[in-house]
Every structure is written in C-alpha cells, then in structure tokens.
Structure 1
C-alpha cells in the first residue's frame, strides 16, 4: 500500500490503494476540501464515515452527514463544502472495468450489466443515491465490510471486497430503477418485472429477444409486441434502442473506451451506425459528447 500526502486545503491524510485493476479504495479525511487526483475514473461511490457539510456537483448542492452514500460520476465540477471535519471512504471504478476479463475466475457479467445501467440512468446530481432506510442500511453493512477488509489487508481482502461490491452494485442498480419507474403505473404487474429484466440484461441479445422474453414471462410470442406497446406506450424496439443509447451517451462522457468498442458492446453495427442513432435521438454524435460540445 502507498500513503499519498495530498496537497492543498487542510487535509489529515489520504490513503489509496489499487486493490484490483477494476477498482481502488481510498480513505481521506478533510477539514477543507482540495481537489483529488481521479485520473481514469468514471464512477465513484462515496461513503461518509463521519462529518457534515455540503456535496456540490455541477454547482448544485445537497447536505451530507455520517453514513451518507453518494454516487459521483466523473463530473467536471464537484466538491465538498466541509462544515465538520469529514472522513470519506471512496470506492473508485476505473475504465479497465470494461476490459476483457478472460483470465479472471470471477464472472463479471453482473458487474457489467449493473454498472452500465447505473451509468446510463443516474441523474448525475448530488444527494444520496438511496432514500429507502432499509435499503440504505443493507448497503451500509456491505460498505462496512469493504472498510473492514481494506483495513485488514490480508491475502483474501481484495477478493472479499470484490465480491461484496457485486452486491452493492446490484442494490444501487435496483434503487435507481425504482426512481426511473417512479410515478409510472402499469395495469399488468408482470410488466414492471419485464422492464427490470430488460434493463439489467440490455447487452444480452438472447435474453432480450421477444422469443426469450415471451417464454420467460408467459406471454404469447405473437402478442408480445402489442403487449409491450400497450403497457409502455412505446415500441419494444424503441425502448431497447433508447436504453442502449443512454448507456452509450454516459460512456462517451465518462469513459475513454474507444467509440468503436462501445458500439460493438452495445450491439450497433459499427461506430457510424451508433453515431447516426445518437444524433437522431440526442442531437449530438459520440465525439461531440466526448468533447463536451453543446
């Protein structure tokens, strides 16, 4: 482990360790905020161990306190306004998360699905990511495990943290899905389950095919398209395309993954196909999004 003395502000200490090539864990304590080195980071989970203040993302501010759990994509403008000395646990997910995991024994498919969903659907504003106290308590217990293993640093700690984060990402993704669907009601209770399943398997062509979904949710395949449009008020193909484009937009902004690779992973013919669809639906192409062109 390396101890990094972070300059600027009144900072007690800053310890960061790359426990795995897909994530790093950092504990930092501040009296006054100073910018941190977050290179190659596109997604960060923040757990407040103690202290109070304000979290500011893109000039929007929200209060934070002990046990607060926040999601911080690689926003161009973010900071913490410290009121009481604050100790943070930062869990940083890096761009290498999306690299091939051919030699790993861990199945990263659930990480990949949940992280893509979170990245594509988080509102990118400050404030706690989980409002439900029961769900927040579950994530807190898991993050306490991460903290304990990080401090223990024995031979199995990285493996334990790695597997604990699988559960954390799952809970976060489902809580964001609740917010996405908030205010929407469906006549058929199955439809919420169907939407959830599609959202979390959006990159698996087989699992989101009408044939597979019809069989899984006991819907006649010949009736599936009509059933989906009647409940969602949009065509199935349009919902799938829109969901994939939301992920592509976030990955253009928050990762350095080549656009050709993003296109391939999201099921587009090539980068030109993805670019055309992005311009049609969002008004900007992938390179414009990556450069921050308005």
Structure 2
C-alpha cells in the first residue's frame, strides 16, 4: 500500500492466485477490477467479478477473491482516521466526511457490484481512471488531484445508496426527498441540522417544521436524525475495531454509555452486543 495521505492509500496489484493481504480492521476499500475474472467472497458469500467491476470491500475479517483469470486490481483504502476531519486540513472536507459516514451507515456490506445505475457506474469508472492515471504519473499535485477525485466518487456512491433507500417511497411534497438527502449528507453537522437552518434553507416556516417533517416521514425529526447516526454507529461497531468511546464522540453522543443507551432504546441491543455478534459471525 502506498499511503498518499494519512487517511487513504492506493495499491495496484496483480494476482494469478489470491494472497492474503495485511490489513487492520479499521477501514474499508474501494476495489476496481482493471482486468481479469473471478468471484469476490465476503464472509463466505460469493459474487462474480469481471473487468471494470467496482466493489466496496467492508472491514470484514473473512474476505478473499477467487481468481479464475489473472486479475489486476486497483485498491483504494480508506483508513479509520478518514472519517474524521483533521484539524490541519487545508481544505474543508466536512461534507466529504459526512458522506463517508453515510456510506458506512447505509451500505449493505454484502459482496456484489457497488453501483447499479449504468450511467453512474460509467461516471465512477471515468473518475477511477483519473485516479489510476495520476497515481501512475505521480506529477506535481497528484495526491491533491486524487483526493478531490475521491470526493466526487463518494458523491456518486451516496447518490446510488440514497436511490435504493427511497425506492418505492412517495412524498406529497416533492421537496421532502431533497430535505432527506440534505440531512443524510450532513448528518454530523449539528449547525446544518438545526431546525432554524433547515427551515430557512427549504423555505418552511420554523414553527411548522416539526409537524411538516412528521407528516411526511411518519416520525419525529429528532428521532430520524438519531436513528441515522445510530446506523452509522452500528456499522462502526460491526466493521471496525475503533473504541466505542471514540465512535460515540465522533457521532455526537455524550459518551459510550449515552450511545449504548440510545442504541438499546431504538434498536434493542447495545454496542458491545452488536460487536460480539459480528465477531461470532466471522468465526
């Protein structure tokens, strides 16, 4: 792995036969099949891959690629620190980090193609080709270009996940879907999730906002926000080894006890129980 930034790394690797790779269970990888054919196996569930396939490999302990034809991979690894903006970052990537957390909280973590929409798949392929080109050329500013290209890729991935979530749902107010998208993509930004901010942005009377949201979503606004953050917390518990206190802090909960209490209230099980379940599944 070539660590181009403290939050992500890139590797190009060719295999005739799959070899285990050193990995720490605090990240996930975007995998682009440059050439070859075979199957991706995650927790013993297989899905075929071929050239130009795009996959998201979660931090599952049991994974491999069953290679049928010699395969060349482009791996883009997102480390655990990738989910929290750094104090020294020169560029404001706050929306970027929110989208990463949105992907972690809403992706199925099952094997299979990451993007269903053919136009979006083509778009991501083009962007991955930019990353490949810049990585191999290694000219001035190539790391910065790769980093910004990743921002666009994550945006397209989020759009596909959001489509799947909203499929079959209809709203009496057409702008409500835009409101949900905005909330989802800014789920960790408390200022942007204030009723006053959202009311002004979406031209909804502040005194009417809570009723408006409940009427369209069939649940309270604050419950929706908390559940969205809890889904991210659940995925972090299952697919990373990050300390529960760190997860709680990063997601805006007072401490791990507060997070655990809210998880039990809304989903019926605590964080340690969720992490233990995943550990037993991977055995």
Cα distance in 2 for partners of 1:217, 1:109 equals 21
**Residue matched to 1:143:** 128
**Residue matched to 1:4:** none
Where do 5+ consecutive residues of structure 1 fail to align?
A: 1-15
Give runs of aligned pairs for residues 251-270 of structure 1, distance below 5 A: 251-270=236-255
- The TM-score, its normalising length taken from structure 2, stands at 0.93
Give runs of aligned pairs for residues 120-135 of structure 1, distance below 5 A: 120-135=105-120
Cα distance in 2 for partners of 1:210, 1:118 equals 24
Is residue 167 of structure 1 aligned with residue 152 of structure 2? yes
Of the candidates 212, 223, 226, which is equivalent to residue 197 of structure 2?
212
- The TM-score, its normalising length taken from structure 1, stands at 0.90
Instruction: Report the secondary structure of 2:274's partner residue.
Output: helix
Query: Given that residues 48 and 69 in structure 1 are in contact (C-alpha distance below 8 angstroms), is that contact kept between their aligned partners in structure 2?
Result: yes
Of the candidates 229, 235, 251, which is equivalent to residue 214 of structure 2?
229
Cα RMSD (Å):
1.6
Q: Which segment drifts farther, 259-268 or 46-55?
A: 259-268
Q: Which segment drifts farther, 19-28 or 262-271?
A: 262-271
Q: Which segment drifts farther, 225-234 or 240-249?
A: 225-234
Give runs of aligned pairs for residues 56-205 of structure 1, distance below 5 A: 56-99=41-84, 101-205=86-190
How far off its partner does 1:204 sit?
1.2
Q: Which segment drifts farther, 83-92 or 231-240?
A: 231-240
Cα distance in 2 for partners of 1:41, 1:19 equals 18
Query: Given that residues 41 and 92 in structure 1 are in contact (C-alpha distance below 8 angstroms), is that contact kept between their aligned partners in structure 2?
Result: no
Cα distance in 1 for partners of 2:166, 2:184 equals 11
**Residue matched to 2:24:** 39
* CA 190–245 in structure 1, closer or farther in 2 if over 3 Å, else same: same
Instruction: Report the secondary structure of 2:208's partner residue.
Output: helix
Cα distance in 1 for partners of 2:194, 2:85 equals 24
Query: Given that residues 229 and 251 in structure 2 are in contact (C-alpha distance below 8 angstroms), is that contact kept between their aligned partners in structure 1?
Result: yes
How far off its partner does 1:171 sit?
1.0
Query: Given that residues 44 and 71 in structure 1 are in contact (C-alpha distance below 8 angstroms), is that contact kept between their aligned partners in structure 2?
Result: yes
Deviation string 1:261-282 (CA, Å, 9 cap, x unpaired) is 3222222222211011112223
How far off its partner does 1:40 sit?
4.9
Cα distance in 1 for partners of 2:117, 2:70 equals 26
Query: Given that residues 101 and 108 in structure 1 are in contact (C-alpha distance below 8 angstroms), is that contact kept between their aligned partners in structure 2?
Result: no
Cα distance in 1 for partners of 2:46, 2:170 equals 31
* CA 133–99 in structure 1, closer or farther in 2 if over 3 Å, else same: closer
Cα distance in 2 for partners of 1:36, 1:183 equals 40
Where do 5+ consecutive residues of structure 2 fail to align?
A: none
* CA 68–27 in structure 1, closer or farther in 2 if over 3 Å, else same: same
Instruction: Report the secondary structure of 1:222's partner residue.
Output: coil
How far off its partner does 1:238 sit?
1.3
Cα distance in 2 for partners of 1:244, 1:221 equals 23
How far off its partner does 1:90 sit?
0.5
